[in-house]
Chain A
Amino acid sequence: MTTVVNQPAAGGAAQQAAGLPRLLPAAPEDLRAHLARYGPAPYRNQSGALIADIEASGLAGRGGAAFPVHRKLAAVARAGVRQGRTVVVANGAESEPASRKDELLLQLAPNLVLDGLQLTAEAVGAAEAHLYLHYAPGPQILRALAERAARGLDRIAVTITQAPPRFLAGQETAVLNRLGGGPALPTFQPPRVSERGLGGAPTLVQNVETLAHLALIARYGPRWFRAVGTATEPGSMLTTIYRPDGKAHVREAAIGTPLRTLLGDGAGVQAWLVGGYHGTWLPVPDTAGFTLDNASLGRSGAAAGAGVLAALPSGRCGLTEAARVTRYLAAESAGQCGPCLNGLPRIAAALAELAGSGHRRQTLDDLKRWSGPQNLVEGRGACHHPDGTVRFVRSALAVFEPEISRHARGICSATDRGPFLPLPPGMPTREEDWT
């Protein structure tokens, strides 16, 4: 199992001068330390006031989709005026097994996340707040809630709900399904949850890291937030980085940081995985000049996602790694939509055959048809699971093409056959695993 290391400012002086890390203290901060550092949450006592600041800051969601936060806030606030009630949800169900940043953030700075939750509740006029986690809440978060309650700091109570540790459990509609007492399965939209969410109320679901950034913007303003990052993608983001040693390092990085600074110069590395298991393989050194922002990554069809970055060492078989992850992703399909239910297991089986020795010619043709540009899987599910999986597979086929030819001749170039990318220990197999 990997260990998570909080790695502050390993980029050296430049990163420290930029005021990073903003979110992660070196050790868990209780309420006293939090208040000494930041003071109490700066309520605006006026709904909507914070939304203008968030818009000016350019904050985008840090759960993976990078959706502009102010637009969600404004949509929920507006719908709330019509419907008379709204709900806010802090989403800490970091379902992607390779991502460890939200868990670490909640351990080290739970009060920052909870400040953000209270401030968004005020901004959208919510009287109901939830914290959604894919594990039993740790002592830091429970202590933070108790300390805040004892001092009367929170305006509304926070209900914790535990989700199953499934890949799709953190998907927005799955979150609402679970909070409503059902299984953590995605549902078909519309209506959007910002219009009709939990119990029919307009609902704001924000990733916990997003809420922590929001709590700081509320204090220090949009200009402070924009002091790092790029003009179109301001601020910093938490990343979970796997260097060739295979250990997970959580590190806060300015958006726009060269991938090289985060992943090393590429020596002894054959490919980078950017954006996690719904992400994209990038060949090294061809993409060694890329930076951690969607403008740069988008040129290769990649996106920063929730900040999972991995450097696959030369001695590993990328094809085998991709096949393992794809098998996991196929098993994580909710099995609700035909194209995903039928497509993903076939894609996974075909990739496993390629990762073996001497595949049938038809297998590669099938795989290209299922995952290529004109594929019949992408965009046809209720959620984006088939899309993300196909993106991952398509990039693997492109980047590891030479390895596919080698395997066809019965040769694997790996010197180390052990698994590199982390997967949860037991593969889910049962219906009730969703609840």
Chain B
Amino acid sequence: MAETLRVNPIQCSGHGVCAELLPELVTLDEWGYPVIDPRPVPPVLDRDARRAVSACPALALRLVSR
């Protein structure tokens, strides 16, 4: 089951934890807000992606199955 990362942009306050834990799929824009790779999370990054989701202080990051 392929999952993708999705950020709720209203919830997100730009802590940047996701980019720190998952630099392969998340970069920060020039204002510190995450730019998410829209492709499915590859199996090798699955654990890191879950960690990033649970570590988000704003609870703004999710894994959604598409």
Q: How far is the CB of A196 from chain B (nearest CB, A)?
A: 16
A134 to B32, CA, bound (A): 35
* CB-defined contacts of B10 to chain A, threshold 8 Å: 187-188, 336-337, 382
Task: Tell me if B11 counts as interface (CB < 8 A to partner A).
Answer: yes
Residue-wise interface mask of B (13-46) relative to A, using a CB-CB cutoff of 8 A (1 in contact, 0 not) = 1100000000000000111110100000000000
Given known contacts A376-B35, A380-B35, A338 and B30 CB-to-CB distance under 8 angstroms:
no
A376 to B29, CA, bound (A): 7
Task: Tell me if A48 counts as interface (CB < 8 A to partner B).
Answer: no
| Interface set, chain A 177-202, CB cutoff 8 A to B | 187-188
Closest A residue to B7 by CB, please name it. Answer: A380
Please give the number of chain B residues whose Cβ is less than 8 angstroms from any Cβ of chain A in the complex.
13
Contact pick for B31, options A336, A338, A382, CB 8 Å: A338
Q: Are A342 and B11 in contact (CB under 8 A)?
A: no
Q: How many A-B residue pairs have CB under 8 A?
A: 37
Task: Tell me if B54 counts as interface (CB < 8 A to partner A).
Answer: no
* CB-defined contacts of A337 to chain B, threshold 8 Å: 9-10, 12
Q: Are B9 and A338 in contact (CB under 8 A)?
A: yes
Please give the number of chain A residues whose Cβ is less than 8 angstroms from any Cβ of chain B in the complex.
13
Given known contacts A338-B9, A382-B8, A382-B9, A376 and B30 CB-to-CB distance under 8 angstroms:
yes
Q: Are A188 and B11 in contact (CB under 8 A)?
A: yes
Task: Tell me if A137 counts as interface (CB < 8 A to partner B).
Answer: no
Task: Tell me if A42 counts as interface (CB < 8 A to partner B).
Answer: no
Task: Tell me if A283 counts as interface (CB < 8 A to partner B).
Answer: no
Q: How far is the CB of A386 from chain B (nearest CB, A)?
A: 9
Residue-wise interface mask of A (371-384) relative to B, using a CB-CB cutoff of 8 A (1 in contact, 0 not) = 00000100011100
* CB-defined contacts of A340 to chain B, threshold 8 Å: 9
Q: Are B9 and A188 in contact (CB under 8 A)?
A: yes
Interface residues of chain B, those whose CB is within 8 Å of chain A, are 8-14, 29-33, 35
Interface residues of chain A, those whose CB is within 8 Å of chain B, are 187-188, 336-340, 342-343, 376, 380-382
**4 extra A-B contacts, CB within 8 A, seeds A337-B10, A337-B12, A380-B35:** A338-B29, A338-B31, A342-B33, A382-B9
